[in-house]
Amino acid sequence: MEIQKLITAAVSAQGNSYSPYSNFRVGAALLTAGGKIYTGSNIENASFSPTVCAERTAFFKAISEGEKDFTAIAVTGSDNKICMPCGVCRQVMSEFCDANFRVICVAKNGEYKEYTLGELLPFSFKLGEKNENV
């Protein structure tokens, strides 16, 4: 997988952000095991609760089209800080991806850092698993 191609797709998706409340535009590009890329952008709402992040938009688009095998996601924000996925998005990722899933966090200036999902969410909730660290 070419990281720059995934980052470029995330930056492009950022252009579709609807973020009039936070003015923080986020784009995401999700790579399937088959090489297909699904994009998403954050979509805000005046009551905030129905707001959805770019990462979840990309996942839900892919899943609604039958995809369930993912290898990486790139996430970019509208400032020069590395854009990290929120806790809810990390948990959604863990529903469909293992601990080795690659999360590429990108800043507006192009700087990026790569993490595994296991690094970002070491104690995820899994259906039928007992969390023995609690």
Please list the active-site residues. 55
Nearest to 106 by CA among 85, 129, 133: 85
How far apart are the C-alpha atoms of 85 and 27, rounded to whole Å? 11
Inter-CA distances, 109 with 23, 56, 72, 74, Å: 17, 23, 21, 14
Other C-beta atoms closer than 10 Å to the C-beta of 69 total 10
